Structure 1
Amino acid sequence: MNKYLISIVGPTAIGKTALSIKLANYFNTEIISADSRQFFKEMQIGTAAPDQAELAAAKHHFIHHKSIQDNYNVGAFEKDALSCLEDLFKVHKVVIMVGGSGLYSNAVTKGLDDFPKVAPEIREQLINTLESEGLAPLQNQLKTLDPTSYNYMAIDNPHRVIRALEICIGTNKPYSSFLNKEKQGRTFKTITVGLTADREIIYDRINQRVDIMMAAGLLDEVKTLIAYKHLNALNTVGYKELFNYLDGSWTLDFAVSEIKKNTRRFAKRQLTWFRKDTDTLWFDYKTDLSEIVETCQAAIKE
């Protein structure tokens, strides 16, 4: 247990990528991305993936290594990431992981929860409801059956909502009751570093990032993906709103305002998720690198 994974978490647009590169350079190591949307090579602008300069500044893993047409989930990522870490720890004492997808980060650091099998007919019925009535009825059902999951889950993600509901219905127990059970141990220690700021600052940074994405060509990127908008990977903030503009449902200005609003909501859920981990070392987003490094070094020496 003399190997350390420094996991950087926090809301979107807070500066996690920049910090991960600085820490990777300090520790002369490599970076694993745990951002579930940055996996997909077709989604570059709208996922705020590291640009070419950032990718060149430190070696990254799990950036644009999959296609939106690939069937890739958190279980596959856990297996791939642990295999990658096993190789990296042969030559590095410290490895950096970064990402705003709490489920994917936890899969690496703590392992996935084990759920009982349920009748496939339940999922089929839930999918039928989604297709005929939309997501709202499913969200309301989850709020009734499992308010805990409703409050921290990405409830705008149909895949996550349906997964939680099928467990609730199939077991007559809340989905959340199966979470955080004892899991298989890890051969490394995790130091979790969280970045945060006042809510107003986070929201302002999000608004600025969306404007930057639009200026960088996000609309053109979305246009190239219209034929695939039914895929789960593209049921993502920044893409689904622009699909609504492109099919004539919304104006462009309204679509952009919805991207900002939905991203702010996502950031709020991220903070709710990450703050559940009482071991996280929280820093203001402006904290000097030397202070974060000093804290990490102290944890390594313990």
Structure 2
Amino acid sequence: MIPVITGPTATGKTDFVLNLAKEIDLEIINADAYQVYKYMDIGTAKPSLEERKQIKHHLIDILTPDKTYSAGDFFDNAEKLIEEILAKNKKPIIVGGTGLYVETLQKGLFKGPPRNEQIRNEFRNIIKDKGLQYLYEHLKKIDPEYALKISENDSVRIIRALEVYEILKIPFTEAHRIYHKYPKFQYKIYVFYRKRQNLYDRINKRVDTMIKFGWVDEVNNLKNMGYSKDLPSMKAIGYCEIYDYIEGKMDLDETIQKIKKRTRNFAKRQLTWFRHMQNVEWVDVENYDMKDLINKIISDYDCSI
């Protein structure tokens, strides 16, 4: 099995894996949705250049911020990299807190038709005219099985299901059965976590450290390079807030407090995501010292090969 180290932001995943790398010959595959972007280093808590020299990292700095990156891209890239790393007789390890990416590795990927913006815009216009409930009722008629699995307020999934139906003329549920790509590998998923208040304290301190080490300058450079705050890459927490600060819409203290709050709320959402995943092992990192935690992962890895 391939180990996956995941969990909420600021739990200490990167620090742990860098210490683990001193004991076994491994290469890291990044599973963070925003560390793939160049020029976004401080705000994404990207491993430093020095750390990346010590141990090989993959899927970091592979795109400029105006590009898009999806769970499907990650799935394909990660499987290819795992094969390459194993062929070198090294150990791959997945590290990152993007739950969707981790779950995609575990369950596989729907390889159906790509997005069709014309169709999506038609559905968005229907929502404006008749409401989301109208589309949900339509979905219930053509694919009641899938409609029961999702919320009637989940516009993203409703539109995608209807988009696929428009293209393939079959229900989304049936399309999943036909076009699903199953994973090549099995994974041992460790969800690192800490006591809530301790985690929140770490988040708050980390945001302060990011500001101290030049996060505002980083965002200002992105702005001067022409990268709009409306880009998907700028959904990374803190970037839009700092854009607003630079544009005079908030003072710095207000900006920092807003980033801290958003990050704490994000950590809650990450935990909720992982709680809904099956076959994961929860690891309270506060119950281990670094050496014991390293020995635990090494023992599990050796037993699974």
Task: Give, in angstroms, the shift of residue 223 of structure 1.
Answer: 1.1
| Greater CA drift, 243-252 or 285-294 | 285-294
**TM-score (normalised: structure 2):** 0.78
**TM-score (normalised: structure 1):** 0.79
For residue 156 of structure 2, the aligned residue among 163, 172, 175 is 163
- Counterpart of 2:109 in 1: which secondary structure? coil
Does 1:7 pair with 2:4? yes
Does 1:244 pair with 2:244? yes
For residue 23 of structure 2, the aligned residue among 23, 26, 29 is 26
> What is the match of residue 261 of structure 1?
261
> What is the match of residue 158 of structure 1?
none
> Are the counterparts in 2 of residues 126 and 162 from structure 1 also a CA contact under 8 Å?
no
> What is the match of residue 77 of structure 1?
74
Does 1:40 pair with 2:37? yes
> Are the counterparts in 2 of residues 34 and 101 from structure 1 also a CA contact under 8 Å?
yes
Q: 1:77 to 1:252 in 2, by over 3 A?
A: same
Take 2:259 and 2:124, find their aligned partners in 1: how far apart are those partners? 25
> Are the counterparts in 2 of residues 112 and 183 from structure 1 also a CA contact under 8 Å?
yes
> What is the match of residue 144 of structure 2?
none
AA at the equivalent of 2:159: E
Cα-to-partner distance string for 1:70-102 (whole Å, 9 max, x where unaligned):
233222222122111111011235311100111
> Are the counterparts in 2 of residues 23 and 96 from structure 1 also a CA contact under 8 Å?
no
- Counterpart of 2:283 in 1: which secondary structure? strand
Take 1:77 and 1:289, find their aligned partners in 2: how far apart are those partners? 29
Q: 1:126 to 1:261 in 2, by over 3 A?
A: farther
| Greater CA drift, 40-49 or 52-61 | 52-61
| Greater CA drift, 247-256 or 285-294 | 285-294
> Greater CA radius of gyration, 1 or 2?
2
Take 1:50 and 1:93, find their aligned partners in 2: how far apart are those partners? 20
CA RMSD for the aligned pairs? 3.7
> Are the counterparts in 2 of residues 106 and 112 from structure 1 also a CA contact under 8 Å?
no
AA at the equivalent of 1:250: M
Task: Give, in angstroms, the shift of residue 65 of structure 1.
Answer: 1.7
Take 1:177 and 1:285, find their aligned partners in 2: how far apart are those partners? 42
Task: Give, in angstroms, the shift of residue 122 of structure 1.
Answer: 5.1
- Counterpart of 1:248 in 2: which secondary structure? coil
Task: Give, in angstroms, the shift of residue 192 of structure 1.
Answer: 1.2
| Greater CA drift, 258-267 or 180-189 | 180-189
> Are the counterparts in 1 of residues 8 and 193 from structure 2 also a CA contact under 8 Å?
yes
Take 1:178 and 1:258, find their aligned partners in 2: how far apart are those partners? 41
| Greater CA drift, 285-294 or 10-19 | 285-294
Does 1:94 pair with 2:56? no
> What is the match of residue 198 of structure 1?
195
Does 1:281 pair with 2:281? yes
> What is the match of residue 54 of structure 1?
51
> What is the match of residue 301 of structure 1?
303
Give the paired residue count.
282
| Greater CA drift, 272-281 or 79-88 | 272-281
Cα-to-partner distance string for 1:251-297 (whole Å, 9 max, x where unaligned):
22111111111111111111111122342222222322343344332
> Are the counterparts in 2 of residues 24 and 96 from structure 1 also a CA contact under 8 Å?
no
Gaps of 5+ in 2: 140-146, 166-171
Task: Give, in angstroms, the shift of residue 129 of structure 1.
Answer: 10
Task: Give, in angstroms, the shift of residue 23 of structure 1.
Answer: 2.2
Q: 1:236 to 1:301 in 2, by over 3 A?
A: closer
Identity of aligned residues (%): 34
Task: Give, in angstroms, the shift of residue 125 of structure 1.
Answer: 5.2
- Counterpart of 1:245 in 2: which secondary structure? helix
Take 1:182 and 1:117, find their aligned partners in 2: how far apart are those partners? 12
Q: 1:216 to 1:194 in 2, by over 3 A?
A: same
Task: Give, in angstroms, the shift of residue 232 of structure 1.
Answer: 0.9
Cα-to-partner distance string for 1:164-212 (whole Å, 9 max, x where unaligned):
34136656xxx99999999544443311112111111111111111000
- Counterpart of 1:269 in 2: which secondary structure? helix
- Counterpart of 1:26 in 2: which secondary structure? coil
